[in-house]
Structure 1
Amino acid sequence: MANPDYSAKNLTVLEGLEAVRKRPGMYIGSNDSRGLMHCLWEIIDNSVDEALGGYGDTIDITLNADGSVQVVDHGRGVPVDIEPKSGLSGVELVFTKLHAGGKFGGSSYGSSGGLHGVGASVVNALSARLDVEVDRAGATWGISFRRGVPGIFAGDGVDAPFTPTAPGEGLTKLKRVAKAKTGTRVRYWSDPQSFLPDAEFETAALLARARQTAFLVPGLALNIHDLRGAEPAVHSFKFEGGLSEFVDYLANDAPVTNTWRFQGSHDFTETVPVLDEQSGRLEQAEVQRTCEVDIALRWGTGYDTKVQSFVNIIATPKGGTHVAGFEAALLKVLRKQIEVNARKLKAGSDRPEKDDVLAGLTAVVTVRLPEPQFEGQTKEVLGTSAVRSIVSRTVTNALNAQLDSTAKIDKQQNTMLLEKVVGEMKSRIAARTQRDTQRRKNALENSSLPAKLVDCRSNDVANSELFIVEGDSALGTAKLARDSEYQALLPIRGKILNVQRASLADMLANAECANIIQVVGGGSGRSFDLEQVRYGKVVLMTDADVDGAHIRTLLLTLFFRYMRPMIEEGRVYAAVSPLHRVVVINNGAKKNETIYTYSEAELTALLKKLKRANKRYKEPIQRYKGLGEMDAKQLEETTMDRGARLLRRITVTDAEAAERVFSLLMGTDVAPRKEFIVAGSAAIDADSIDA
C-alpha cells in the first residue's frame, strides 16, 4: 500500500550517472543482450564518426575471453586538455558527464551518429571497469573508471583493487609517441549488476552491423576479433562501392532495373535552443542547416520490399521523415508516369497505391545532417520535419530524370518498371475482388469448400489436422488410415505452381494454390489472419523420393510466401514416411515383428543388429517409393497415428536466411542454383537419388 504521508522529503533526485544506473532502460532500451549490444554500438559509432570526418580508415573490435570488449580507432583522439568550465580533462568530461561531447555546436562534426552526448558516459556508468587510452599531442594518455567513477586499478582485470581519484586528477601521461600518431582505445567490462545474467555479445548481430557500416562508409575497414572460443575468429569488412554495393547485397531476386543512385543536397532553416555564452541561458535561434541525401535503389522480379534507412550511418529501423519523403515521392512520380502512359500500359482509370510501387523494391535511404531530431536515445525514428520535403524533392527530380531518359537501356528498364507496378495494381484489385466475393458468400452461408477436400468432423481447431497428400492413390489409402474425427485430407495433383516466380494474380488463378488457401481459411499475403485458420496443424504428406521432396518444397514456398504466420507459429509439418519395412521372423508361436526404417544408414544398422542377435528377416525387404504402396494399416501406424508417427516441424529461425534459401532454390536466377547443386553433388550417391 502506498505511503499516505507524501511530502517533499519523499522525493528523490538522481544526480549524474546515478540516473543511468538506476534506469538503464531509458538510455539503452533494455538490460538484456540487446542493451548490451547497444552499449557496444555507442562506442563503435564514436569511432565511425571520426572516420566520417575523414580521420582514420580502420576500426578494430575485439571480444576478449575475459568478457571485456575493446574498440580501437585511429581518429583524432578524445581531447585531453582541460575544459575550463568544469576543470576536467576532455576525456574525463566525455566519459563522466551526461550531454557532454563535441557534437552539439556543429564545429567539430558535420554529421555524426552520436548526438545526445550520453553514449560514452552511459557505457561508462554501466561498466564494472572501463579503460581509455588516447594517442594525442605526442603522448599516450590513460584513465580508468569503475561504474563511472575515475580511479586507479592495482592490476589487470575487472576484479583488481580500485582506488578512486579526485575529479580532474584521473588522466595520466603513460608514454611518449610520435606526434603524428593519434587515436582512441576503449576497453570495458559490462557491469553484471546492470545486465541480466544471460546477456551476451551476439556475434551475428555484431557482424551484420559491421558489414552494414562498411557499406555506408566506403573505404572504412572494420576488423572483428572474437577471442572467446577455442579457435580465435577474425572477420573483416571493407567495401568501396558504398550504397550501390549494399543494395546489390540485400537484393536476392532477379533485377527489373539496374541499381539507381539518387543524390542531392539542400539547405533548410531550423529553430533550435542555443546557449548564450554571456547570459548562460538557452535562447531560441534560427540556424542554417544542410541535409545531404544519398539513396540507392532497384526493383526486382520479387514481391517483397526491403527498405533500410539511416541517418548519419545510424540505422532507423522504424523509419521517420526521410522514409516518408522517399515513399511519397516514389508514389507521386510513378502515379504520374502511369497516368500519362495509361493507354500503352492498359492501366485503365485505376491508380497504384504505395504497396504496388514498393513491391520488389530494395533500397537504402541515407541522410546526413547536423543535430537531427530523434525519438529517444535509441534513435529508431527520425523526427526532423524539414528532411521529408528535402528527400521528396531529391527523389522526385532524380526519378523523373531517370524515367524521361532516352537511352535505350533506360527506356527498356523504365517500361519494365511501369509494367511491374501496373501488374501489382491489377493483382491487388483482383485479390480484393476475390476476397470481397468470398466474404459475400460467407455472409450468405453459401461458401463451398473444394469437392476434393475430405474434411474432419471436429470443429476444434487446436485438435484438428489437415493432411495435404500427393495424388488420388495416396488419398484413397489415407481415407482408410485416418481418424475422421480430427484428420482432414486434401489431395493435390502433381506439382503445384512455383509461387516464387509467379505473380499474385497467377497464384490466385492456379486451382491447386487457390484450393489450399481456401481450405486453410486464413487468406493470403498481408491480409492473412491466423485466427481464421481452420486447422491446428497442416501436414505435408508426400512420397519419399525426389519428386516428393520437390512437391514438398513447392508447398513450403507457397506457405512461406503467402501464409508465413503458419510457419512462424510452428503449425506446418512434414510427414516422415518410412523407406523400408523389415519383418523379423520370430520362432514358435510368437508373432513376427515389423520394424520400419527411415534411411539407408538406419536399415544397415538394423540388419547388423539382427545378424548379431541371430535373428532372421523376410526377404526381399520391402522398399517404399511412395505412400500409395502402403496399405491403410501401414500408413496409419507409420504416418498418421499420433502415438506412433514421426512429424518434422517446419520453423523459421531466421526469416532473412530462409528468404535467401527460397530464392536460391525456387527463384528465377539459374546460375547460383547450379553452383549450389554442383557444390552439393559430392554428398550424393547414385543409390540415394530416389530416397
Structure 2
Amino acid sequence: MVTESYSATQLQVLEGLEAVRKRPGMYIGSTDSRGIMHCLWEIIDNSVDEALAGYGKRIDIILHSDSSVEVRDQGRGIPTDVEPRTGWSGVQVVYTKLHAGGKFGSANYGAAGGLHGVGASVVNALSSRLDVEVDRNGKTHAMSFQRGHAGVFQDAGDPSPDAAFTEQPGKAELRILGKTKKGVTGTRVRYWADPQIFVRDADFQIEQLRDRARQTAFLVPGLEIELEDLRDPEAPSVENFKYEGGISEYVEFLAPDGPLTDTWRIQGSGSYTETVPVLDPKSGHMVSREVEREMQVDLALRWGIGYETVQKSYVNIIATPKGGTHVAGFEAGMLRTVRDEVQKNARRLKVGNDKIEKDDVLAGLTAVVTVRIPEPQFEGQTKEVLGTPQARNIVQKTLADGLKERFSSTKRQDKTEVSMLLEKVVTEMKSRIAARAHKETQRRKTALENSSLPAKLVDCRSNDVERSELFIVEGDSALGTAKPARNSEFQALFPIRGKILNVQKASLADMLKNAECANIIQVLGGGSGRTFDVSQIRYGKVIIMSDADVDGAHIRTLLLTLFFRYMRPMLDEGRVFAAVPPLHRVVVQNPGKKPNDTVYTYSEAELQQLLKKLERSGKKYVEPIQRYKGLGEMDEDQLWDTTMNPEHRLLRRMTMHDAAEAEAVFEMLMGSEVAPRREFIVEGAEEIDAQLIDT
C-alpha cells in the first residue's frame, strides 16, 4: 500500500555493507552463476595484483566439496596493523568497509586490477561465512565474518557456515594462530556464497575458471596458478598453469589457423597528465591535483591463413571483453598504418580506387592487447570497458610505430611476411567488394527475375528452403542418370567437373578465380568466408554424391575442405551430407516364375554376410555380382531407390564436434606441409588391407 504522506522519517539510510546485500546486482551484475564467478574474480584479482607488483609467484584456487572456495597467495599479506582513523586492524577494514584498500594511490601498486576498494568487502557481504588468514611479520593472523560482520565461529570439526557464531561489534579481535618461518608472507581466503543472496542453481563454472587461470598465467609470465577441484570426492582434479612466453605464447595458443606471419611483439609507453582527487594526509580530505601518469603498452599479433579474428584485450591483466579506448586505439592504428602501406604499394597490389576497411585488415588476425595504467577509469565495477580517454592515442601511436618499423625492415623474413600480409588484406578487400556486388544474385530467383545462376544448375521447383536439397554430383555422366531419377519438386542437381581446387593450399583470390568453387558458392547463395550468411543459403541440405572409389573419396574431401574453410557454419549446423551409394548389387534367384529379388550392400563385410546367409538358406544368386564404381553405372530407378529416395537412402551427416582437431586433420591431409602427411601415410601403411584396394 502506498501512503499519501512522504516525509524525511520515511527515508532509509543503509549503513556499511547493508547496501550490498540489498542491491547485490549493482556490485556483481547478477545473483546467478555469473555473480558467483564475479565474486571469485575479485578475490583472485587481489592475489594477482600482488604477483603483478612482484610479490609471490604462486596462487592456489581450491573448490571444496562443501561449496566453499579458497584462494591462497604468496603476496605481502593484508596489513595487520591498526588503521589510525577507525582504530581497527587493516584486515577488518579491508573486509568490512566499502571503498577501503591500498589501490587508491600509486605508492602500493603501480598498476592493479582492483581499483574501487569494494571487491573484498562485497564478497564478504554476500558470503554466509568468510575466513581470512594472513602470514605477516612472522605470525599467522586470522579473522572470520558472517554476512559481513566480524566475529568467531564455534567450529566442532571442519569449518561450516552453520556453526554457532558470536559477533564482535566495533573493533574485532585479529586472532594469532601461530608463527611462520622467516620471510613467509601471504593471504588465504575461504568463503561460502550466501544462499540467501544467490539463486539455488548458482555454482562455480570450472570451464570459466580454467580459462581465467590460463589467461592470467599467460599475462603474468612466470606466475604459477594451480586449480584444484575437490567438489566430487571420487574424482578430484588438479590443473597447473605456468607460461614463460607471455602474450606471445598466448597468441599462439589462441590462433585458430595456420600462420601467415610470425607473432609480432610491439611494446611501448606514453605519459599523460590528469586531474584527480588525492587524499591530503594533513587535512584528511580529498583535494584535486594534477598528476603525471605513465602507461605501458604491450601488444602481440599474428596473421593466419584463415579469416577469423581473435582479439583479446586487458587492462592491468583484467579482461575487457567489451573493449574500450585501448581497443579503439589499436584498431585505428592498425587500419591507418596498413592502409598507408597498401597505398604505397598500390600499383604492385593492383588496388585501384578501392579503400581498405577495418574488417579487411582484421581478417585472420589473432591479437592480444594489454595496457598497464595506474588508476584506469572503468565503466562500473564489472570492469568490462576501459574509459581512460588518453589510452587511445598512446596505443595507436605505439602500434603505428611498431608496424612501420616492421614494414620498413630490410630483413628477408620480415619483407616476405609483410608482402604476404598486404596481399591477404587486398584479397580480403576484393572478396568483400565482390560479395557485395553478387549479393542479389546469390538469392533464389523467381520466374519473373533474370537468373544469373550457373547454366549447369538443374534447380528444383520448391521455394521451401527447409525441404529443398542440392546434390553435388561428379561429372555429366552422373548428372545424366540423376536428372531423371530425382524428385524435381525439391531436389536440385549441380555437376562439378572432376576434382575442384584444393583450397587448403590456395589463397582466397585463387579460390574465387576457380570456376567450380565460385559456382558452388554462387549456387548456395550465402557468400563465403567472413561475408558468409547461413540464413541466405538456398537449400536445406547439401548432399555430396560422388563415386564409391578413390577418386570419389578425394572429390568429397576437396568439397569438404571448401565448406570447412569458407562455409563453416554449414558444417556447424549439420546441413552438409555425403550420400552413401551401394557398392554391390546382388540378384537373388527365386524358384519357378517368381521374380528375382535384388539386394544392395554397402560394404564388403555386408556383402560377405549376405552371401553366407544365402548359402545357408540354399538360395542361388546371379554371378558375377555387380560392383558399382560409379554412379553412372546405375539406371535411374536404381539410383532413386538406393541413393536419392528419402524413404530408403542412407546419408552420412558431416559435423564438427572438435573444430581444433578438424583443423589439424584438414591441414595435415590437404595443407602445403608435405612432411606431416608423409609421416601419416608411412605410419598408417601397416593398417591397410591390400586386398580391399581397387587395382
TM range, smaller chain: 0.7 to 0.9
C-alpha distance after superposition, 1:576-600 (max 9, x if no partner): 5566778899999999998877667
- Which runs of no fewer than 5 residues in structure 1 stay unpaired? none
Distance 1:216 1:617, change over 3 A: farther
What amino acid sits opposite 2:45 in the alignment?
D
Taking only aligned residues, the RMSD between alpha carbons, in angstroms, comes to 4.0
- Tell me whether 1:178 sits opposite 2:181 in the alignment: yes
Distance 1:101 1:457, change over 3 A: same
- Tell me whether 1:507 sits opposite 2:504 in the alignment: no
Residue 210 of structure 2 aligns with which residue? 207
Shift of 1:291: 0.3
What amino acid sits opposite 2:165 in the alignment?
T
C-alpha distance after superposition, 1:21-55 (max 9, x if no partner): 45544433444444433333322222211111111
- What secondary structure, in the 3-state scheme, does the structure 1 residue paired with 2:239 have? strand
Shift of 1:374: 1.8
Residue 219 of structure 1 aligns with which residue? 222
Given that residues 253 and 669 in structure 1 are in contact (C-alpha distance below 8 angstroms), is that contact kept between their aligned partners in structure 2? no
- What secondary structure, in the 3-state scheme, does the structure 2 residue paired with 1:556 have? helix
Distance 1:588 1:622, change over 3 A: same
Paired with 1:606 and 1:507, the residues of 2 have a C-alpha distance of 45
Residue 100 of structure 1 aligns with which residue? 100
- What secondary structure, in the 3-state scheme, does the structure 2 residue paired with 1:145 have? strand
Please, what TM-score do these two structures have when normalized by structure 1?
0.86
What amino acid sits opposite 2:181 in the alignment?
A
What amino acid sits opposite 2:47 in the alignment?
S
Shift of 1:307: 2.4
Shift of 1:639: 4.5
- Tell me whether 1:448 sits opposite 2:455 in the alignment: no
- What secondary structure, in the 3-state scheme, does the structure 2 residue paired with 1:244 have? helix
Given that residues 218 and 239 in structure 1 are in contact (C-alpha distance below 8 angstroms), is that contact kept between their aligned partners in structure 2? yes
Distance 1:578 1:202, change over 3 A: farther
Distance 1:344 1:566, change over 3 A: closer
For the pair shown, the structure with the greater C-alpha radius of gyration is 2
- Tell me whether 1:119 sits opposite 2:123 in the alignment: no
- What secondary structure, in the 3-state scheme, does the structure 2 residue paired with 1:335 have? helix
Instruction: Give the counterpart of 2:319 among 309, 315, 339.
Output: 315
Residue 367 of structure 1 aligns with which residue? 371
C-alpha distance after superposition, 1:518-574 (max 9, x if no partner): 222223333334443322333334456655454444333333433344344444444
Residue 166 of structure 1 aligns with which residue? 168
- What secondary structure, in the 3-state scheme, does the structure 2 residue paired with 1:463 have? coil
What amino acid sits opposite 1:132 in the alignment?
V
Shift of 1:174: 1.3
Shift of 1:368: 0.4
C-alpha distance after superposition, 1:459-511 (max 9, x if no partner): 22233222333444444444455433222222333333233333333222222
Shift of 1:660: 5.3
Task: State the aligned residue count.
Answer: 687
Distance 1:678 1:295, change over 3 A: farther
Residue 346 of structure 2 aligns with which residue? 342
C-alpha distance after superposition, 1:145-190 (max 9, x if no partner): 3444444152325464231422442642211112311111223333
C-alpha distance after superposition, 1:376-406 (max 9, x if no partner): 3332222111011111111222222222233
Residue 158 of structure 2 aligns with which residue? 156
- What secondary structure, in the 3-state scheme, does the structure 2 residue paired with 1:373 have? coil
Residue 27 of structure 2 aligns with which residue? 27
Paired with 1:683 and 1:23, the residues of 2 have a C-alpha distance of 65
Alignment of 1:282-301 (within 5 A): 282-301=286-305
Shift of 1:430: 4.2
Alignment of 1:220-259 (within 5 A): 220-228=223-231, 230-259=234-263
Given that residues 252 and 663 in structure 1 are in contact (C-alpha distance below 8 angstroms), is that contact kept between their aligned partners in structure 2? no
What amino acid sits opposite 2:519 in the alignment?
N
Paired with 2:5 and 2:453, the residues of 1 have a C-alpha distance of 66
The 10-residue stretch of structure 1 (109-118 or 489-498) with the greater mean CA deviation from structure 2: 489-498
- What secondary structure, in the 3-state scheme, does the structure 2 residue paired with 1:110 have? coil
Paired with 1:682 and 1:131, the residues of 2 have a C-alpha distance of 61
Paired with 1:247 and 1:177, the residues of 2 have a C-alpha distance of 40
Distance 1:584 1:653, change over 3 A: same
Residue 387 of structure 2 aligns with which residue? 383
Distance 1:218 1:339, change over 3 A: same
Q: Percent identity?
A: 67
What amino acid sits opposite 2:175 in the alignment?
T
C-alpha distance after superposition, 1:257-297 (max 9, x if no partner): 33222111111112334445566655543222110011122
Residue 89 of structure 2 aligns with which residue? 89
Alignment of 1:7-22 (within 5 A): 7=6, 16-22=16-22
Given that residues 63 and 231 in structure 2 are in contact (C-alpha distance below 8 angstroms), is that contact kept between their aligned partners in structure 1? yes
C-alpha distance after superposition, 1:326-379 (max 9, x if no partner): 222222223323333334444444442222322333222111011111223332
Paired with 2:468 and 2:673, the residues of 1 have a C-alpha distance of 39
Paired with 1:48 and 1:143, the residues of 2 have a C-alpha distance of 22
Instruction: Give the counterpart of 2:529 among 520, 525, 529.
Output: 525
Residue 74 of structure 2 aligns with which residue? 74
Shift of 1:90: 2.4
The 10-residue stretch of structure 1 (75-84 or 576-585) with the greater mean CA deviation from structure 2: 576-585
Paired with 1:391 and 1:108, the residues of 2 have a C-alpha distance of 25
- What secondary structure, in the 3-state scheme, does the structure 2 residue paired with 1:462 have? coil
Alignment of 1:605-616 (within 5 A): none
- What secondary structure, in the 3-state scheme, does the structure 1 residue paired with 2:36 have? helix
- What secondary structure, in the 3-state scheme, does the structure 2 residue paired with 1:206 have? helix
Paired with 1:684 and 1:226, the residues of 2 have a C-alpha distance of 44
- Tell me whether 1:53 sits opposite 2:53 in the alignment: yes
- Which runs of no fewer than 5 residues in structure 2 stay unpaired? none
Given that residues 291 and 369 in structure 1 are in contact (C-alpha distance below 8 angstroms), is that contact kept between their aligned partners in structure 2? yes
Alignment of 1:476-625 (within 5 A): 476-543=480-547, 547-576=551-580
The 10-residue stretch of structure 1 (217-226 or 572-581) with the greater mean CA deviation from structure 2: 572-581
The 10-residue stretch of structure 1 (617-626 or 96-105) with the greater mean CA deviation from structure 2: 617-626
Distance 1:16 1:655, change over 3 A: farther
- What secondary structure, in the 3-state scheme, does the structure 1 residue paired with 2:466 have? helix
Paired with 2:656 and 2:543, the residues of 1 have a C-alpha distance of 16
Paired with 2:598 and 2:154, the residues of 1 have a C-alpha distance of 71
What amino acid sits opposite 2:83 in the alignment?
E
Given that residues 442 and 527 in structure 2 are in contact (C-alpha distance below 8 angstroms), is that contact kept between their aligned partners in structure 1? no
What amino acid sits opposite 2:163 in the alignment?
P
Given that residues 136 and 179 in structure 1 are in contact (C-alpha distance below 8 angstroms), is that contact kept between their aligned partners in structure 2? no
Given that residues 124 and 145 in structure 2 are in contact (C-alpha distance below 8 angstroms), is that contact kept between their aligned partners in structure 1? yes
The 10-residue stretch of structure 1 (558-567 or 39-48) with the greater mean CA deviation from structure 2: 558-567
Distance 1:469 1:43, change over 3 A: farther
C-alpha distance after superposition, 1:630-663 (max 9, x if no partner): 6555554554444454545445566666555554
- What secondary structure, in the 3-state scheme, does the structure 2 residue paired with 1:327 have? helix
Paired with 2:585 and 2:56, the residues of 1 have a C-alpha distance of 68
Given that residues 78 and 90 in structure 2 are in contact (C-alpha distance below 8 angstroms), is that contact kept between their aligned partners in structure 1? yes
Distance 1:486 1:348, change over 3 A: closer
Distance 1:447 1:15, change over 3 A: farther
Paired with 2:209 and 2:659, the residues of 1 have a C-alpha distance of 18
The 10-residue stretch of structure 1 (660-669 or 254-263) with the greater mean CA deviation from structure 2: 660-669
C-alpha distance after superposition, 1:595-642 (max 9, x if no partner): 87766777889999x69x975676688776565566555554554444
Given that residues 481 and 635 in structure 1 are in contact (C-alpha distance below 8 angstroms), is that contact kept between their aligned partners in structure 2? yes
Paired with 1:585 and 1:22, the residues of 2 have a C-alpha distance of 84
Given that residues 474 and 546 in structure 2 are in contact (C-alpha distance below 8 angstroms), is that contact kept between their aligned partners in structure 1? yes
Distance 1:648 1:103, change over 3 A: farther
Paired with 1:585 and 1:66, the residues of 2 have a C-alpha distance of 71
